Amino acid sequence: MSDFTSNFWSVYVAAITIIGIVACLLLLWFSGKAKAMTANDNTTGHVWDGDLREMNNPLPRWWVWLFVITAVFGLAYLAMYPGLGSNPGKLGWTSLGQHKTEMEKGEKEVAPLYARFTAMAVPDMAGDAQAMAIGERLFLNNCAQCHGSDARGSKGFPNLTDGDWLYGGAPATIEETITKGRMGMMPPMAAAVGTPDDVKNVANYVLSLSGSPHDSVRAELGKSKFGACAACHGMDGKGNQAMGAPNLTDDIWLHGYGENAIIAMINNGKSNQMPAQEGKLSAAQIHVLAAYVWSRSNGSKVAAK
């Protein structure tokens, strides 16, 4: 592998940067030393609009020194901070390090606020107006991009308000999901089901499980072929939260509804991922966020408290 890597580009960038600054200083020096051909009246002989003459006056001293100071400052900056290729600079500053420092500072500032919530159970927090205001802000900043600002989701992104949970809706499970993320996958099952006609029959049987419109003859034919799907969804089609396998009997469709959508799922499979938030949010923030998410599908329990 070492044959394909080198520090060429690092050296190239550093060299171009230094040469550029030195060239500017040399240009300034040479322009100050060069003597232009001038007439007795200190003009260069160039005339525009009949009487507008070009003078040969030197640059103002303040401008020259400002230019020099700028160049020296640039060299000092490059020595202290990263800017010369891969050179880290004398101070060892990095944008990642600064971000980490600012995040730690921010967490210390809000720690007293979260300390009260850390000791509270999720159902108790769901009835706390301050906790829910913070949870809502965390949700809008980190979860709404997929699940929507109202938490109702969209095609491919679960609705968090309906009580239908792929992995379970207990407070501890919600916290685990937010912390570690989830990776859901349904493999293509057409080969296991049989012919394209068998796939269509199974699709109609799946529709029948939730009482959705379907072809009853095809559904009956597809019942025996559904065994290929039972390992995850169960023989009764009620799913398996330990695996994240959806309940097929509740008429809630994550990836689309109808015969064609189910056939596409059987033929092509589907992969879905929820990214882990543990590297982005603190444990205290995840605890509050979990309470907010739990409250979205347990409104009646919160109202009864």
pLDDT digits (tens, 9 = 90+) for 130-144: 999 999 999 999 999
Q: Lowest mean pLDDT: which of 2-11, 82-91, 96-105, 254-263?
A: 2-11
Give the model's confidence band at 301: pLDDT under 50 very low, under 70 low, under 90 confident, else very high. Answer: low
Do residue 67 and residue 198 come from a single domain?
A: no
Residue 289 lies in a domain: yes
Residues β-bridged to residue 157: 154
Is 233 a residue whose pLDDT tops 60? yes
Pair 138, 215 in one domain: no
Whole-angstrom CA distances from 88 to 13, 82, 102, 157 are 14, 5, 20, 42
Do 22 and 168 share a structural domain? no
Q: What is the mean pLDDT of residues 260-268?
A: 95
End-to-end CA distance of the chain: 63
Q: Identify whether 230 is part of a domain.
A: yes
- Contact, 43 vs 53, CB < 8 A? yes
Q: How far apart are CA 230 and CA 205, in angstroms?
A: 12
Give burial (CB, 10 Å; 0-12/13-18/19+) of 106: exposed
In the prediction, which pLDDT does 3 show? 54
pLDDT of 37 > 70? The answer is no
Q: Residue 152 belongs to what domain range?
A: 106-181+275-304
Question: Which CATH number goes with the domain that contains 285?
Answer: 1.10.760.10
Q: Residue 54: pLDDT band by 50, 70, 90 thresholds?
A: confident
For residue 273, what are its two tokens?
A: 């991922």
% of the chain residues with pLDDT over 70: 94
- Do 131 and 148 belong together in one domain? yes
Q: Same structural domain for residues 194 and 245?
A: yes
Which residues lie closer than 8 Å to 36 by C-beta, 6 or more apart? 44, 56
Mean pLDDT of 55-67: 85
Q: Is 29 left (phi over 0), alpha (psi -120 to 50) or beta?
A: alpha
Number of domains, the chain: 3
- Does some domain include residue 132? yes
Checking if the pLDDT of 173 tops 80, the result is yes
- With beta carbons less than 8 A apart as the criterion, state whether 138 and 288 touch: yes
Q: How far is C-alpha 100 from the chain's CA centre?
A: 17
The first and second tokens of residue 189, run together, are 């099952």
pLDDT tens figures, 69-111: 999 999 999 999 998 888 889 999 999 999 889 988 988 888 8
**Res 4: pLDDT:** 54
The answer to whether position 256 is within a domain reads yes
| Cα–Cα distance for residue pair 156/299, rounded to 1 Å | 24
- 211 part of a folded domain: yes
* In the predicted structure, residue 6 carries a pLDDT above the cut 90: no
pLDDT band at 1 (very low <50, low <70, confident <90, very high): very low
